[in-house]
Structure 1
Amino acid sequence: MTTTAHPDESPGSSMTDEEYGALRASAALWAGTSVLITDQRGRVLVQHVDYRNTCLLPGGAVGKGESPSRGASRELLEELGITTAVTRSLAVDWVSADTPSTPPAMRFPGEILYVYDSGTWNDQQIASIRLPGHEITAVDLVEPATLNALMAPSDARRALSALRARINAGGPVFLENGLPIAPTVLDRVGILRTARVEHHFPWRPGPVLAGLPVRQCWAWAFAPDGRVLVLLKPDTGAACLPGGTLETQDQGDPVATLMREAAEEAATHLDEPVFLGHLLDPTEPCAHVHFAATLTRLGPVRSALATGQAHARILATPEQAVALFNWGPETAGQLATVHAARERLGIPKAAAQPVTELPGPVTW
């Protein structure tokens, strides 16, 4: 039997099966796996290893005749002592042969690396990790923004791309050297590349105590499909809800602040806001109040008066939104309050879906 050497060659350019097999073998790549694990605060689990000075996600080489998902499960058992099936793929990365972190002696031919999602682990699961007596020296849970400092550049790009794919909920993404070949708005803006602002403040669903100053106000602004408006800063990739800091012209009225800031920063117009509660900041002390509201209209994207920059506007499920913030243990309580308000507003719960960018005017 003969075959063409390449798909675009003419039928007359033929090879034997043995020659064709040798040609394909000469172009073969390694196969490997990585597994993304986060805790309930959105921190990423990384491993310190004894054979390199940068951190890695759990994972390793796929064995001969082994499927990538089985290889990923085996690596979790060998490296972390955890028995679990790995069923959800986040990314497939083509890693070029000239990757700088690979020692020349390995004669690295390039690799196809499968990134799987092991989900969000609770404290009990994390406490059950048992490291082997060699290779893995420690594990850490780190903020996504620190991955660039802890990992080789290509590994950090891959981990962040996989994390964005998980948040986006659009299915597995295809990467080349860690970067998506079809970037989403989350990739383009570069969410999670800078530190999330830490607001580990107690969540209080009731009114603000008398005498406690209100410093800021923010809105969970709902579209009719149950998603909320999130603003992404183009210079840092940081996320925020519509709203901002009380100023003199607002005369101490948080609703006036909310309406003004939403219009100035993102050309956003809201229906009558409903009070949700507040984060109690004990360091000042002060309150950061949160509202729920329905979106009525978005105008054209324009630069914010304070910064001169235009936010990227996206619709995201509330669950996608909280993944972009660092609110600590109080996140679940606030999210429950948000969903209760959504039901009172008669808005359905949003289905899991990719985020949607809103670059132009919209009216609901």
Structure 2
Amino acid sequence: MPKFSWHTDPVPAGLAVRQVYGFLFVPDGRLLIRLDGSKHTLPGGRPEPGEVTYSEILRREAMEEVTVDIGEPYYLGYQCVDDGISPYAQVRMAALISRSHPPAPDPDSGRTYRRLLVHPSKAGDLLAWGETGYLQATAAAEAAVAVLGLSADDLPPSGEL
């Protein structure tokens, strides 16, 4: 069974980045969660040939999976996945959603994902990623206030985008 650990420093040289996921916030402070059936996750995915930065990957994945434009992403850290064979990194970023488009099928899967807006404090439970998930959600909520300029006060209730 893989082991997961959360790190806020840069991804070490030589550790492959296999995924980039984003904690995407709307201006009122709610967080976008992607729904795939009953599974809750963040928008994101694998790097494609020619993509050089984590920001490029996240921007593409945000549009493909949940049809939103985002502002400049902020690096939160990475989750190291040690599968016992070849450890790799899953980068996590935070960004503001600048524009929402009507839902459309993901070009990779053909599925149209539902988008749920939640209070950031619910992310750890919904993602069900264990302790590292709670650490990531906390880092994202802190960055939303400190870096993205969102207010932690008077957040509206959850709902669909």
Q: TM-score, normalised by structure 1?
A: 0.41
1:14-59 CA distances to partner (integer Å, 9 max, x unpaired)?
xxxxxxxxxxxxxxxxxxxxxxxxxxxxxxxxxxxxxxxxxxxxxx
Partner of 2:66: 266
* Cα separation, partners in 2 of 1:325 and 1:350, compared to 1, 3 Å: farther
Given candidates 94, 118, 143, the residue that maps to 1:316 is: 118
1:317-341 CA distances to partner (integer Å, 9 max, x unpaired)?
1222221222222233223311221
How many Å apart are 1:353 and its aligned residue?
A: 5.1
Distance of 1:254 and 1:348 partners within structure 2: 26
Number of corresponding residues: 158
How many Å apart are 1:257 and its aligned residue?
A: 1.0
Partner of 1:253: 53
Contact 1:200/1:327, CA 8 A, preserved across alignment = no
Distance of 1:354 and 1:331 partners within structure 2: 21
1:254-293 CA distances to partner (integer Å, 9 max, x unpaired)?
2111111111112110000010000001113110000111
Structure 2 residue 11 is the aligned partner of structure 1 residue 211: no
Distance of 2:107 and 2:78 partners within structure 1: 26
Contact 1:216/1:254, CA 8 A, preserved across alignment = no
How many Å apart are 1:356 and its aligned residue?
A: 1.3
Counterpart amino acid of residue 249 in structure 1:
G
Given candidates 270, 274, 278, the residue that maps to 2:78 is: 278
Partner of 1:297: 99
The alignment partner of 1:201 has SS state of: strand
Counterpart amino acid of residue 238 in structure 1:
K
Greater length-normalized contact order (CA 8 Å, ≥ 6 residues apart): 2
1:187-246 CA distances to partner (integer Å, 9 max, x unpaired)?
xxxxxxxxxxx986111011101111110001111111111111101xx32112121111
Counterpart amino acid of residue 201 in structure 1:
F
Counterpart amino acid of residue 59 in structure 2:
M
Q: Percent identity?
A: 34
Partner of 1:356: 159
Contact 2:21/2:45, CA 8 A, preserved across alignment = yes
Contact 1:200/1:328, CA 8 A, preserved across alignment = no
Contact 1:315/1:355, CA 8 A, preserved across alignment = yes
Counterpart amino acid of residue 254 in structure 1:
Y
The alignment partner of 2:126 has SS state of: coil
* Cα separation, partners in 2 of 1:301 and 1:313, compared to 1, 3 Å: same
* Cα separation, partners in 2 of 1:319 and 1:199, compared to 1, 3 Å: farther
Distance of 2:33 and 2:16 partners within structure 1: 25
The alignment partner of 1:269 has SS state of: strand
Contact 2:29/2:155, CA 8 A, preserved across alignment = no
For structure 2, the 5+ residue unaligned runs are none
| RMSD over aligned Cα atoms | 1.9
Contact 1:222/1:293, CA 8 A, preserved across alignment = yes
Q: Which of these two proteins has the greater Rg computed from alpha carbons?
A: 1
Partner of 2:31: 228
Partner of 2:108: 306
1:148-167 CA distances to partner (integer Å, 9 max, x unpaired)?
xxxxxxxxxxxxxxxxxxxx
For structure 1, the 5+ residue unaligned runs are 1-197, 359-364
